[in-house]
Structure 1
Amino acid sequence: EWNIEAMGPTKRHYAGRLIRKLTPLWAHGAALTYNMGKHYPGEQLPRWSIHAHWREDGEPVWRDPALLASDDDKDDAQAKDAAKFAEALAERLQIDPGLVNPAYEDIHYYLWREHRLPANVVAEDAKLRDELERKRLAKVFAQGLAEPVGSVLPLRRVVEDGQRRWQSGKWFFRDSVMFLVPGDSPIGLRLPLESLPWADPDHIEIEAEIDPFAPREELPKKFEFKRLRTAAPGSSIEGFRPVPQDAPVVGKEEPGLVRTALAVEARDGIIHVFYPPLYAAEDWLELTAAIEDTAEEFGRKVILEGYLPPEDDRILNFSVTPDPGVIEANIHPAHSWAEIVERSTQLYEVAREVGLSAEKFMLDGRHVGTGGGNHVVMGGATPADSPFLRRPDLLKSMVGFWHNHPSLSFLFSGLFIGPSSQHPRIDEARQDSLNELEIAFQQVSRQSNTPPWMVDRLFRNIFADMTGNTHRTEFCIDKMYDPNSASGRRGLVEFRAFEMPPHAEMSAAQVLLMRSAIAAFWEKPYERRLIRWDTRLHDEFLLPHYAEADFKDALAELETLGFPLNPEWFAPHIEFRFPQVGEIAVRDMKVELRHALEPWHVLGEEQTSSG
């Protein structure tokens, strides 16, 4: 888990400790949620991610951190406690608690699985080759098939008379009871949604996320949420009644059925609450406040999981998630240089306190980075404020400057470089991409009014690796202005050719270089022609002499634009990337031997998670 694997037995423990130590420093009144992370090909299960969410205006999202459980906590909650919790939560949302459904494991499936086992083993010790399936069967049979494993409340947010209110309804199944999809994931991920009464998908009303460019009002204060939850029946803000429903009739559609749900289960003795998908930050905040009040009423710690809140600039977040060999921390945006330095220092210090570091040593004793990225994401306070959307030629300048100075691509990256790396240069995978890039550059200038969607379409297919992956590239614009999704229109550009250095000041220096380049090219766009490096790219710039000389040339160019950076500030980076092996002096001659860089090409017989 600390070399090549993304998941491991101790990573979530370390990640939980890290985010809990960082939360008081960065996120006042934050709610911590455990969510499903990315699912990569070749990995049997998706990764997890832990998020801290808090309000930008300083109002607490979660008042009492003591009510948020961690993986290290112990409790004795059972399925009946989860049912009581779900019913009490429904009442706070002004929903009939009788609409809470008990959820059972699929007895038919597991009896079938038991009958297929060898005659001389028991289900609790099934001897199956698949370790995960073996543990899954043992867990299910140990807890029993006749008892519910959790409770499910159909839940969605609707607009009635200009107000958003909670709505629930009955769920009907052929077996009268709810049997979950077989597995051991949270029950919110195993709901038998395909067994609900059918309706033509075109007739089902679907709510979409709010456009990130839409104007936002201030979020309501905490007491307003409380007033909404505790209003007496019959008042003007009385909760929404259930959808009027009869038993489903064959041949009749049910497009109005509530098809999203909140789930509550007792897992490992701790109450877990699974969020349904929500599309407005106000809804997520209100539901979170109701969950905390219910947890306070029962005196139990809870773990929040399920769907993340919708993207909203009024709610900030940072997260911790696993990656091969490392733990990945995605921190929230900084608005000033002072914030960058402070957060970088705090991150390194807290990580060391919990037993983590951004360095390791190879078998020969060479001091190297962990291989984890120190990716720099830049944009504006809101999507509309993004400098890359206000001045599309800025992206052109950054790409051109980085291309003409290859040292910027190799000096700060990890050992894994080259065309099959996580951040290949445009000219590493396909030389003919430069022709397309020059054509795209001609469409973008400071004087022209280039719409944001056109910038995305001009560069999207150029900023990609050999497999067409638009994320694994030196410049990632997945979240700049993708017309196909609201989450892709954030005005953000990710610069990925950076590895996590071993010291916070080295990390801050990398960001300083990026800030200086953006400020310089905002004043004067970079218009030099693209250089065809061909084989010189690897023949020269993977050697310390040429890389250092090119880097000093890049700093000199920035200085002519009014942004002087002292080369000595980056001396640790050069020494770290090209460490000295030894030296020898013979009479008047001195020979110094240093490590150089080399691209790692994917071998034909090597199978990886990406192909």
Structure 2
Amino acid sequence: MISPWMNEAAARAEKTLADHGIRFTIGGEPTFIPNDPQGPEWSYSAVGPTKLSYAKRFADELMKDRCAGAARFYCPGKLYPGETNPRWVVRLISNRDGSPVFSLPKRGKALTPSSLQDFADALAKELGVPSHWIGFTDPNGSGIEVLVMPLDHDGSIWRSARWPLPKGDRKLSTAEGPAGLRLPLHLMPEGLPRRVLCIDRQGGTISIFVPPLLQNAFLNLLGATERAAKSRGVADLEFHGYTPQDEEGKWSVLGLAADPGVLEINLPPCESWQAYAEWMEELFASGHRAGMRTWKESPWDHPQGSGGGNHLLWGGPSLEDHPFFTRPLWLANVLRYWQHHPSLAYLFTGCYVGASSQAPRPDESARDLYDIDMAYTFIETLSEGDHRSLINETLRHIQIDVTGNSHRSEISLDKFWNTAFPSGMLGLIEFRAIEALPKPEWSSAVALLWSCLASHLLENPPKRSLKRFSTKLHDEYFLPRRLWDDLEEIFADLEKAGYTLDRETYRAIWDWRFPVLLEWKSGRASLTVRKALESWPLLSETPVEGGSTSRFVDTSMQRLEFLTSPGFSSQYDIYVAGRPLPLAAQPDETSLAGLRYRRTNLYPSLHPGIPTQLPLAVTIVNRKNGRAVAEFVMGVDEIDFTPLDKPGLTALGGKPCRGGRRGDLTCDLRLA
């Protein structure tokens, strides 16, 4: 549900941009998983036996409402190093004016052995070419009919020819994928059209593989296919193949892509925050009907996001009308402000943060802070004009992870104007430190915060110097309390500029991200223990199945936050595993501490000889008499602390817990 305060804040942000003549687009990449995810495809693999069926089901639900009249295409996706086949993406192509792109009869005739040939002949007639179809066999399955015809478009009419291929060579390869990607095109003689139209029938479905075409020819083929299908009563038809660029600006294209562990939704660019919020509502509703959601649960942890993220992308309506190409100072303001506020990197992301995560901050990379500052200062001094190439060349070596990967960055510019790759010249700024959340209004609230900051920073540059957080970044700012305090500073900046955001919504997100594991109260004294963030270190290369190597991260460590009320420390002490836990007094008279402990020691991991530190006991002791007044234990298979009926079972008096560095708020229980 889109709240009034959201609309008011969005209107304020969009008016500011409009006053400066800026047209701004928002993109998104929310990720979904099944309600009951099973197998590697919903854990770490990009593809698997069920993911495509979920993608088609999700697409069909979208086509019942928001994407009614769309054409659905199963397309080849990216090929990543170490993967045998390209990943796939299901694209929904809709007309922006709401008119249908493609439609079929609601009811069709039952397919017979002659149905495929009848449909193929009708399609050739609609295209105005002879029916030069030849049959192929598919070694991957029996009962699959395949017809193939060379076909090309010269800009005005279609041309076809018969492929003089010996019958013994008329068979598809055994590779995975649709028939049109498994043709022996190397056997095609010179002089024939270089594109090939391929149709096949499997059971009650006819599939048509569309070769690479320009937009006008593509639309012509869709129209011919629609007429042929209606004339032959074909209601169950699907498209495979290539979709062209939207040269005429007619389309809205949504993608459902195979990604490791999740199904990723690639939204079309939204020209307003309102449009983005409406998409979130539609995606969550359609995903629910398709049996999918944006969060996961497990018996060994609290609910958390899908694991695939919900990245936000900023851009412009076109490369000719792009808001950041000619405003490098604005972009520098954004980069500086994000560096000043760790909550923007840590509060809305997943459980995995730090230098080896999927979205490290620039000051967590291998670059010195003065190098980062030098780059930002340089682009701030650029004169008027289009500086897309120089901005890219300056920042692409800064916005990286520790390995130099420009995609894995909190604010990634690898799709801004990266001339090394065609897909990198899109004018996009990608914010990757955002995880999928369980409610559409929460995802919309994060996007709204980002939009308000974009508008605010256009007129209100942050402090010029970057913040040197030093060890505090991975100590204090991994604790929920510190992150909320930092977000409060952001709220204050926005309120001074006239942007009013509802703290309760963001507090609910914060509560969900950092669940309470223990809560104790006696009179005015109270203790709250929450789950905190942890930075999991990268390990050395480890051989994996198939002969390749992989670099795992050590996920054995977890972090807790201990927050006590004013006056608690004058009455009570806290012991963890029998050891005193030092608390640091805060300006509001509360006390705070972090604690790292070893939850697992699965292979591979750092320090394999150090055992796990579960069960973990927390004992509250009366300072006057030294007696335990309450005791809680987290067992090996538990995710919360359970109170003991008889406190005082854990022997007290060990060495005080300590941090790895002087002044740390966080102690490490592994240290003696």
Q: Deviations over 1:402-439 (max 9, x none)?
A: 11111110100011222222222222231337505623
Which residue is equivalent to 2:220? 286
Query: What is the identity, as a one-letter code, of the residue corresponding to 1:85?
Result: F
SS in 2 for 1:515: helix
1:116-164 residue CA offsets vs partner (Å, 9 max, x unmatched): xxxxxxxxxxxxxxxxxxxx4xx3xx45xxxx941222222224xxxx3
- SS of equivalent to 1:385: coil
Q: Identify the match of residue 90 of structure 1 among 99, 124, 127.
A: 124
User: In the alignment, does 2:36 pair up with 1:102?
Assistant: no
Give the direction of change, closer, same or farther, for the CA distance of 1:525–1:610 in structure 2 (3 Å limit). Answer: farther
SS in 1 for 2:324: helix
The match for 1:157 is 153
Distance (whole Å) between structure 1 residues aligned to residue 314 and residue 543 of structure 2:
34
Q: Which has the higher helix share?
A: 1
Q: Deviations over 1:436-455 (max 9, x none)?
A: 56235413447432422222
**Alignment-mate amino acid for residue 283 of structure 1:** A
CA deviation profile, 1:520-561 (whole Å, cap 9, x unmatched): 122334452222323222112111122111121222223334
* Residue 35 of structure 1 pairs with residue 95 of structure 2: no
Look up the SS of the partner of 2:225 in the other structure: helix
Contact 1:86 1:153 in 2 (8 A): no
Q: Secondary structure at the match of 1:38?
A: coil
Distance between the aligned counterparts of 1:607 and 1:465, measured in 2?
23
- 1:114-513 to structure 2, matched below 5 A, reads 136=140, 139=141, 142-143=142-143, 149-159=145-155, 164-173=156-165, 177-197=169-189, 254=190, 257-278=192-213, 280-300=214-234, 301-312=236-247, 313-364=249-300, 366-432=302-368, 435-436=371-372, 438-439=374-375, 441-445=377-381, 447-483=383-419, 487-513=423-449
- In 2, the alpha carbon distance for the partners of 1:379 and 1:77 equals 50
- Report the more deviating stretch, 393-402 or 300-309: 393-402
- Mapped to 1, the partners of 2:394 and 2:252 lie a distance apart of 31
| Overall identity of the aligned pairs, in % | 34
Whichever residue aligns with residue 202 of structure 2, its letter is R
Corresponding letter in the other structure for 1:18: F
* CA–CA separation in structure 1 for the residues paired with 2:319 and 2:408: 23
* Displacement after TM superposition at 1:369 (Å): 1.8
Cα distance, 1:320 vs structure 2:
1.9
Which protein has the bigger strand share?
2
The answer to whether the 8 A contact 2:104-2:229 is kept is no
Q: Is the 8 A contact 1:103 1:149 kept in 2?
A: yes
Residue in 2 that maps onto 1:114: none
Gap change, CA 1:307 and 1:102, over 3 Å in 2: same
The equivalent of 2:21 in structure 1 is: none
Q: CA RMSD, aligned part only?
A: 2.9
Supply the distance in 2 between the matched residues of 1:540 and 1:311 (Cα, whole angstroms): 48
CA contact (8 A) 1:556 1:564 kept: no
Aligned position for 2:622: none
Structure 2 counterpart SS, 1:167 = strand
**Which consecutive residues of structure 1, in runs of 5 or more, have no partner in the other structure?**
69-73, 111-135, 198-253
Match of 1:48 among 69, 83, 88: 88
SS of the aligned residue for 1:52 comes to strand
Task: Provide closer, same or farther for how the CA distance between residues 371 and 155 of structure 1 changes in structure 2, counting only shifts above 3 A.
Answer: same
Q: CA deviation at 1:66?
A: 3.5
Q: Is the 8 A contact 2:105 2:233 kept in 1?
A: no
Q: Deviations over 1:10-31 (max 9, x none)?
A: 3333322222122233224211
Return closer, same or farther for 1:65/1:503 CA change in 2, 3 Å cut-off.
Answer: farther
Tell whether 2:506 aligns with 1:570. yes
1:59-86, CA deviations, whole angstroms, 9 ceiling, x for partnerless residues? 3211337489xxxxx96465x6434433
Amino acid at match of 2:183: L
Query: 1:246-292: per-residue Cα shift (whole Å, max 9, x none)?
Result: xxxxxxxx4x64222111111244211001011x3222111111111
Write the letter of the residue equivalent to 1:34: Y
Q: Residues 67 and 292 of structure 1 are in contact (CA less than 8 Å); yes or no, is this contact kept in structure 2?
A: no
**Shift in CA distance, 445/81, structure 1 to aligned 2, threshold 3 Å:** farther
Contact 2:478–2:532 under 8 Å retained in 1: yes
Distance 2:373 2:72 in 1: 43
Output the CA distance in 1 between the equivalents of 2:174 and 2:263: 30
- Aligned to 2:293, the other structure's residue is in SS state coil
C-alpha change, 1:338 and 1:194, in structure 2 (3 Å) is same
Q: TM-score, normalised by structure 2?
A: 0.69
CA contact under 8 A between 1:85 and 1:264: conserved in structure 2? no
Q: Which moved more, 1:171-180 or 1:315-324?
A: 171-180
Give yes or no for contact 1:520–1:562 (8 Å, CA) kept in 2.
Answer: no
Give distance in 2, aligned partners of 1:150 and 1:19: 25
